[in-house]
Amino acid sequence: MSLVLLGLVMLAGGATGCNLDEFEEEFDTEFTVPPPQGEGFGVRPHRKSKRFKMERDPQDAENVRFLDASLRVIAPEGSDLTFMNQLDVYVCDSIEFEDCTDPDSGNLTLLATASGFEPGETIRFLDIEFTDDIRGFSKDKRVLLTWFVYPTGWGYDWPDEGVTIQTDVRLLVRVDVL
C-alpha cells in the first residue's frame, strides 16, 4: 500500500515538473526505568536522552516530518505499561546535551506523548503533538531525542531491576529531486 502511495506522489510530482523522493528514517532505543524513589506526587520522572544520526542530511530535504512513535515493554516478562502514568518524547532545540535536561527549560519541543495505560497493555502508539518541519532541530545529520517517563507512584509492584522498554520513532524525509 505504501509503495502505491509513494508511486502516486511521485507521479503527481512528475506532472508538475518537480520530482519528490520520500524516505523514512527510523530510530529505536531500549532503556530500563528503575523503580522510583519515593511515592505519590514526590516521584521524579526518569529521563533518557540519545543522539541519533540520520542517513542523509535533513538540511538538504524539502521537509522532515515526525510520522509516529511507539512504545513497548521488553522485560520483565508479564509487565505492562501501567508502571508509568505518562511518557513524553521531546526533540532538543540544541544538539548540546546539557541544554536538554529539563522539559521546562524552553530548549525542548514536545513531539509525542502517551498516558492512561490500561492493565495488560504492552504496546502503544504515542499521540503526535508536533507536526511541523523538524529540520531546524538537527545539526550535522544528528538529532537529540529525550524521553521523560513519569512512573506510577502508587500501587505498582516494581521489580527490583526496573522495567525495560523499547521506543521506536519514524521520520518522513521529503527531498526535491531536480
DSSP state of 6: H
Average pLDDT in the 133-143 region? Answer: 72
For residue 115, pLDDT over 50 is answered with yes
Q: Give me the phi and psi of 103, to 5 degrees please.
A: -65, -15
The predicted structure's pLDDT at residue 19: 57
pLDDT of residue 101: 67
Give, in words, the CATH class of 23-177. Answer: mainly beta
pLDDT, tens only, 35-45: 887 666 667 88
| Spans of all domains in the chain | 23-177
pLDDT reported for residue 88: 94
Cα end-to-end distance, the chain, whole Å:
26
What pLDDT does 21 receive? 75
Q: Reduced to 3 states, what is the DSSP secondary structure of residue 94?
A: coil
Q: Which of 29-33, 47-51, 139-143 has the highest mean pLDDT?
A: 29-33
DSSP state string for 139-165? BTTEEEEEEEEEE--SS----TT-EEE
